[in-house]
Every structure is written in structure tokens, then in C-alpha cells.
Amino acid sequence: MFKKYTLVALLLLGFIAQASANSSVKTAIASAHPLATAAGFEIISQGGNVFDAAVAVSATLAVVEPSGSGLGGGGYWLVHRASDNKTRFIDGREKAPLAAHKDLYVDSAGQVINPRLSLDGAKAAAIPGLPAALVHLAEHYGKLPLARSLAPAIRHARNGFVVGAHHLSLLKNRANVIKQFPASRDIFLVKGQLPEHFAVLRQVDLANTLNQLARHGRAGFYANEVADKLLTAVQRAGGIWTTEDLQNYQVVEREPVVGNYRGIKITSAPPSSAGGIVLLEALTILSAYDLAKLDKLTQIHLITEAMRRAYHDRALYLGDSDFVSIPVQRLLSNDYAAGLRSSIRMDAVLPSKQLSGDVLPDSEGGHTTHFSIIDAEGNRVAATLSINFPFGSGFVASGTGVLLNDEMDDFVSHAGPNGYGLVGSAANMIAPGKRMLSSMTPTFLEDDKRIAVLGTPGGSRIISMVLLATLEFAKATSPMSWVKLPRFHHQYLPDVLEYENTAFTQQEVVALKGLGHSLQATANPYGNMHAAVLYKDTHTLNAASDPRGEGFATVK
């Protein structure tokens, strides 16, 4: 599937240069791949709106960033349409197969059968939502036919694209799993080995599957030929999908969660994501402090204590709201935040084990993707899409080119942390047709001068990254400053304050330890945030891609 096109590679490299663009023209797009950003503009230039562009960017990312998202996965699209001031959250999260149950990955004694079962191969895969969501977006929000918006993705799948360093490094991480499955191996490896730098990846089966979707809409994926191939491959490999699972899959439109932090309106992800609730709860705790007037050490300490408490409630209360009842109003109320704030001491941490409630340990991992689009009229899309770990379950359903997700690991499937070290409760246990709790946090921020669109991949750290970016939005106007900000993270359990090397000085590390924090520098920088902004007074736009990634942001 690979050819070498050095010239193309060099041209692409030039294009990949980190970008932040500023201009007074129509639309800003920031995504994790230059070809995906270009696909969005291609569709706009054909008369599409930002929602058509979102279809094009999502589908192109599925092709050119197969480690992060894809037709075999799901995602969330937070959308705002200026003409009728409508804001909606499109929940295209994967669902547990109907044959799934809470003990799917444990034996009769409650012991994990094989820790890889929820991560690798067909049994780790939940029913994909991304294809249905693309159809939904095109039908309910777009101006162009779905086939038109899918055209750039089909072209890149058929003609191929030059793989970058990010792709190769994630592929290296997951090569052992990909090698186990012939259809995956044939697409992503070359004679069982990693491809060379600047190799071209062509995905002809995926182009054909996208073409079915383009021609037949929903039925092009969830019925007929593609569905037959998906079911045959999954069942042969020990998976539990059935015809009904594919027929029954539905996207849900939900009301986003909305809150306020010191004059900034925050619109973010409701369940099945934990993102918006944890973000707003942490911000409400912090809103009583004038952080700008405090020294940096106290700021870090207070932000960490707010993260600890909000992530604790994630573990205790959150799951799919179609299945469990979540006390959203209480969790987001000022009184509740005041109660949590009263347990925060300026001179010491509150160890996580002293927070009450029964949780079952669970964890997070891999890769995912986010893009942000806004036009000069304020139409906008924040989308975070995932197949969970890099290259999902590593399993391509033969003949489809579709790499399946391993999102089942985002459920609490046993007593113990999940792939991201996250713990949870009964609210996030597996049930047939249920959506697994996510941390994905596509978000809009608005004050009297600006409307921003942002989000990032990064597993359990997604929410703390969006929290830090929101606090930075309160201080600074340039999206580059929100996306490049050094990061730190606390998720209640493990009771550890993680930080990027550049986030704290040595002195701050010592002082934070003195307050009782357990500190751990992350091995690498993390996250890949993409943000776009509309300045209300001038109607100008700006966009930025995280310098940690290979994304591309521009305004045209």
C-alpha cells in the first residue's frame, strides 16, 4: 500500500510548518492535519458552510490520521448556527453491542480474563457512531450533499498521502497489535515492518467504504455490503456485534452544558462525556478566587485542588445519561462548589483518599483528534473524535479498510483503573446499547469581545487541558497562547500532580511538594489542542494549532 514520493513529502513538509494565521477573511479552521484543514477550505470554496466543512475535515482525518479517529469510531460535534442561534451537541459516541454486559471482560470470580481484551482486537470494539454522525451533520446542518463533502477524504484514501512522524511513532507503539490482524497489517505495515519515512499510504478499501457512505448515506455503512463485511470480520475474530447493533445505532442531539466563569460563557459537552460537567465544576470552584491576584504557586495549588474534586465527581457520578441519572444541576450549582471549596486549604493538599464515596478503579490512553472551525458570522463547530488508543483496537474489518475502535475500555469493566488510570462507579458499567463515559471536551468560550472554539485529544487529561486553556483565555487574547500553554493535571486517582517539564520551575516543584502534592513530570509533552477565535468588534478571525503536534491552522 506504500509508494515513495519524496517530492510530495517535501512539499507537504513545507506546508506542515506550525501555523497560526491572522486575517480578516471568512473562516478559520484548525485541525490536526494540513490535508484535513485544506479539505475544510475546499468544501467552503465550493459553497459549503462550516458544517459541510466539518464533515469534510472529520472524514479526511479518518483517512490521514488513522491513529486518532475514523469511521470505526465515534465523536462529538458541538455546533452553533448563527441564523437561528441554535447550539447543539451531536453525540456520535460509540455504543456497547447489545450482547455486551457488565462482566464481559471478567470471569465468574470477577477476575479480568485478559487485560488486552478491552483494548486490542474485535471484542474491544463498540458500535461506531462517526458514519451516522457525518450523515446527520450533512442532512440537518449542511448545504451540500454528503457525497460532495466526502470527496476530499475519498480522494486521499484512493490516491494516498505521505505519512508523517506522528503517524510513524504511534504506529510503532501499536505495531505488535496491528501485526496480529492480516487486514490491518496489509494496510499499515510493509511486509510486516514499519513503513519508511515519507512513504505514501493508500487505503483503497476505505475509499470504497467512504464511497458507499457517500452514495447511500446511513445504509452505506450500517446495512448492505459494508455491514455484512463488518459483521463477518468481527464475529470471526471473536467479537459480539449483530445486525441489530448496526441497524439500531442512532446519533443523539443533546443540549450542551452551559456555565459562567468570571464573565466568560462556557458551552461544553454533556454526558455521555464527562468533559463539560468536570470543566464547569472545576471552574465554579475556582470562580471565587481572583487567580490573577495570587502568586503562581497558589494558583497551581488551587487549580489542582479544583481538578481533584471535579474528577472525583466524574468517578462517582458520571456515565451515559440515557442509562443512569446524573445530578447535573447539583454538581454545577454554586452552593455545591462552595461546599467543595470549604475543604480547600491554602497550606496543604487534601489527599484524594479523604474524598468520600465508592469508586471502582478504571484508566485512559492513546490518541484521538480535535478540530475547531468558526466563520465571521459566528457559525462554529468544535469536534473531538476518537477510536480511543492509537489505531484503536488495531483491528481492520477485512475488505472495509475500517479500523475499529477500542472504546469499550472507557467503561468501568472491572475493579481497577482503565487504560488512562481512571476509576469510576456503577454509573459507567457496561450495559447493552450504553455509551461509555468519555473525557472529550469540545468547547465554546465567549466573553464580550471574543468567541472561541477549542478542544484537544489526550485521554483523561483532556478536561484539565481545556480548563487551563479557559483560564488562559481569561488572561490572553491570542489562541496560540491557549494551545501552547505548559500543562499540568490531577485526576483524583492516582493522587498525583502530573506536569509537563516546562510547566513548573524547580523551585515550584519543591514548594508544591511542601504543600503535600505528589509530583510526577510526564515523559513527553501531551495534548494536541486546536483553537479558533472570532473577535466580535472587528469580525476578524484567528486560529492556532498546538506546536506539540503536526496540525495546521489558518484563516481564509
CB of 168 to ligand DON, least distance (A): 16
- Which parts of 368-397 interact with ligand DON (CB under 6 A)? 368, 386, 388
Which of 71/462 has CB closer to ligand DON? 462
CB of 388 to ligand DON, least distance (A): 4
Residue 459 contacts ligand DON per CB under 6 A? yes
* List 152, 458, 479, 549, residue binding ligand DON (CB under 6 A): 458
CB of 370 to ligand DON, least distance (A): 9
8 A C-beta contact, residue 320 and residue 436: yes
8 A C-beta contact, residue 48 and residue 41: no
Q: Nearest Cα to 183, choosing from 400, 405, 406?
A: 400
**Contacts with ligand DON: how many residues (CB under 6 A)?**
16
CA quadruple 69, 74, 76, 77: dihedral, nearest 10: 70
CB of 462 to ligand DON, least distance (A): 6
Which of 368/554 has CB closer to ligand DON? 368
- Which parts of 95-134 interact with ligand DON (CB under 6 A)? none
Q: Nearest Cα to 270, choosing from 315, 332, 221?
A: 332
Of 39-47, 323-331, 365-373, 492-500, which segment contacts ligand DON by CB under 6 A?
365-373
Which of 375/409 has CB closer to ligand DON? 409
> Bridge-partner residues for 150, per DSSP?
none
Instruction: Name the phi and psi angles at 74, rounded to 5.
Output: -155, -170
Instruction: Say how far apart CA 459 and CA 389 lie, in whole Å.
Output: 9
CB of 251 to ligand DON, least distance (A): 16
Of 45-53, 187-195, 276-284, 362-370, which segment contacts ligand DON by CB under 6 A?
362-370
Residue 211 contacts ligand DON per CB under 6 A? no
Of 280-288, 325-333, 350-358, 437-445, which segment contacts ligand DON by CB under 6 A?
437-445
Q: What is the contact mask toward ligand DON in residues 308 to 347, using x (rule: CB under 6 A)? A: ----------------------------------------
Which of 411/473 has CB closer to ligand DON? 411
Angstrom CA distances, 424 to 228, 307, 323, 470, 540, stand at: 35, 16, 15, 25, 43
* List 48, 457, 549, 551, residue binding ligand DON (CB under 6 A): 457
* List 58, 67, 438, 464, residue binding ligand DON (CB under 6 A): 438
CB of 386 to ligand DON, least distance (A): 5
Phi-psi region of 395 (alpha: psi -120 to 50; beta: other; left: phi over 0): beta
Tell me how far apart the 2 most distant CA atoms of the chain are, in Å.
64
The catalytically annotated residue of 368, 384, 443, 470 is 368
CB of 340 to ligand DON, least distance (A): 23
Beta strands 74-81; 86-92: pairing state = antiparallel
In one-letter notation, the amino acid at residue 93 is: R
- Which parts of 392-421 interact with ligand DON (CB under 6 A)? 407, 410
Strands annotated E in 232-347: 252-254, 257-261, 264-268
8 A C-beta contact, residue 235 and residue 97: no
Of 295-303, 309-317, 451-459, 540-548, which segment contacts ligand DON by CB under 6 A?
451-459
8 A C-beta contact, residue 79 and residue 383: no
Instruction: Say how far apart CA 267 and CA 280 lie, in whole Å.
Output: 9
* List 367, 489, 517, 548, residue binding ligand DON (CB under 6 A): 367
CB of 144 to ligand DON, least distance (A): 29
Place of cell 470470580: 109
Q: Is 494 exposed, middle or buried (0-12, 13-18, 19+ CB in 10 A)?
A: middle
Residue 268 contacts ligand DON per CB under 6 A? no
Instruction: Say how far apart CA 345 and CA 101 lie, in whole Å.
Output: 42
Residue 477: Cβ within 10 Å count = 13
Active-site annotation holds for 368:
yes
Angle at 267 between CA 272 and CA 304, to 5 degrees: 80
In one-letter notation, the amino acid at residue 319 is: G
Which of 398/439 has CB closer to ligand DON? 439
CB of 32 to ligand DON, least distance (A): 11
- Which parts of 272-311 interact with ligand DON (CB under 6 A)? none
In one-letter notation, the amino acid at residue 156 is: H
Which of 129/458 has CB closer to ligand DON? 458
Which of 278/462 has CB closer to ligand DON? 462
Q: What string of DSSP letters covers 147-179?
A: HHHHHHHHHHHHH-EE--HHHHHHHHHHHHHHT
8 A C-beta contact, residue 470 and residue 445: yes
Angle at 283 between CA 278 and CA 287, to 5 degrees: 155
CB of 26 to ligand DON, least distance (A): 30
Rg (CA), the chain: 22
Instruction: Say how far apart CA 227 and CA 222 lie, in whole Å.
Output: 5
* List 34, 217, 366, 392, residue binding ligand DON (CB under 6 A): 366
CB of 516 to ligand DON, least distance (A): 29
Instruction: Say how far apart CA 331 and CA 232 lie, in whole Å.
Output: 44
Which of 65/446 has CB closer to ligand DON? 65
Which of 41/371 has CB closer to ligand DON? 371
Which of 254/367 has CB closer to ligand DON? 367
Q: Is 350 exposed, middle or buried (0-12, 13-18, 19+ CB in 10 A)?
A: middle
Which of 433/458 has CB closer to ligand DON? 458
Catalytic amino acids? 368
Return residues touching ligand DON (CB under 6 A). Answer: 364-368, 386, 388, 407, 410, 438-440, 457-459, 462
